[in-house]
Amino acid sequence: MLKFSAQYFIKQLNLAEHPEGGYYISSFRATDELAVRDVQRPIYTSIYFLLRSQDISHLHRLQSDELWYYHAGSPLTVHMIFPDGTYEAKKLGLNVEAGEVPQIAVPKNTIFGSSVEDSESFSLVGCMVAPGFDFADFELFTQEELLADYPQHEGVIRKMTYKTIK
C-alpha cells in the first residue's frame, strides 16, 4: 500500500492556505444557481481540505449546510457548537466500529472547526456546501466573542479559536 504525506497532497492537488487554517482548493462549482438571501449562489460548491496535526481549523460559521467526506490520512474531529448552545464532536474516518463515520453534515448556522488528533499526521477530506459557499457568508470567531456566548465550552473554544482575528 502506498503511503502519502500531507506535502504530497498539498503539492499534487495545488492546495493553498485557508483563512480558517489548513489547506484547500475549490474542486467543483455547480453551473446552476439559485437566489439565496437576495443574491445568486451556485446550487453547491465543493473543495478538497487538508488539515495537518499541527494545524487547527478555527471555529467559524457558514450560512449554508456543509457535508464533509473523508478521503485519506488520519481521522478528523469536527467540533460543533449548535445554535442552541450544545456541543458535539464527531470523528470523520473509516473505522466505523470505533465510532468514526465517512461523512458528516454540519447544519447551517452551526459554529464549527476541526482538528487532527493523531500526532505527525494529516487528514484529507472533501467539503460540499449547499447552497454554494461564498466568503460573504463566512464568519471567523475570536476566543473573546465565543466565550461571551458559550462559557460552558471554554476548553474547546480556547483550543479552536484565534485570540484575535488575523
Q: What is the pLDDT of residues 39-90, one digit of tens each?
A: 899 999 999 999 999 999 999 999 999 999 999 999 999 999 999 999 999 9
At residue 40, what are phi and psi to the nearest 5 degrees? Answer: -85, 130
Spatial neighbors of 159 by CB under 8 A, at least 6 apart, are 56, 115
Please work out, in degrees rounded to the nearest 5, the angle formed at the alpha carbon of residue 98 by the alpha carbons of 96 and 99: 65
Say if residues 114 and 104 touch (Cβ distance below 8 Å).
no
From residue 57, alpha-carbon distances to 22, 35, 43 in Å are 6, 29, 25
Q: Where are the alpha helices (DSSP H) in the chain?
A: 6-12, 143-149, 154-160
pLDDT at 165: 61
How would residue 30 be classed by pLDDT, with cut points 50, 70 and 90?
A: very high
Say if residues 56 and 115 touch (Cβ distance below 8 Å).
yes
Residue written as grid cell 448552545: 85
Length of the chain: 166
Helix (H) or strand (E) holding 126: strand 122-130
Q: Which three cell numbers stand for residue 87?
A: 456541543
User: Residue 85: which region, alpha, beta or left (left: phi > 0; alpha: psi -120 to 50)?
Assistant: left
Q: Is the pLDDT of residue 166 over 60?
A: no
